Amino acid sequence: MNILGIGTDIIEVPRIGKMIEQHGELFLRRVYTDREIRYCQGRKHAFEHFAGRWAAKEAILKAIGTGWVRGICWTDMEIRREGLGGPKVLVRGGARDAAVQRGIGEILITLSHCRTYATATAIAMAGDLKTGSLDEPLDS
């Protein structure tokens, strides 16, 4: 597989915490999927996990090569944590369309966070969507 794009982002955890405290459910539902909300709220340091997913979504759009454009929503991207493996990226909607248009079949992601900062790096890989992670539905 070939690398088609790379993206990275860093966010201050207190900034995301403040948004959650000020806007609550409205903010959470705009930015995160139900699965992401359940995952983060189930963690001891929830704000760090929410911030990590924010950074991941920003990094994914940089890796895809679009940034924020019309037709792409925050919830088009989902970061899943499955078992002992690393996080997985699933995309749908406008983000998926942009990835398909650019020949992206899989997006690799890594996240890291502490009390102050969360960071993520995404790598967009060329490939066949039938075997890539982009083809899996988000509603399972």
- The token pair that represents 83 in the structure block: 């078992």
pLDDT for the residue numbered 134: 59
Ranges of the chain with pLDDT below 70: 1, 128-140
Catalogue all structural domains in the chain, each as residue range(s) with its CATH number: 3-135 (3.90.470.20)
pLDDT for the residue numbered 130: 47
| 0.95 exceeded by pTM | no
Alpha helices, DSSP H, located in the chain: 13-31, 34-41, 46-64, 93-101
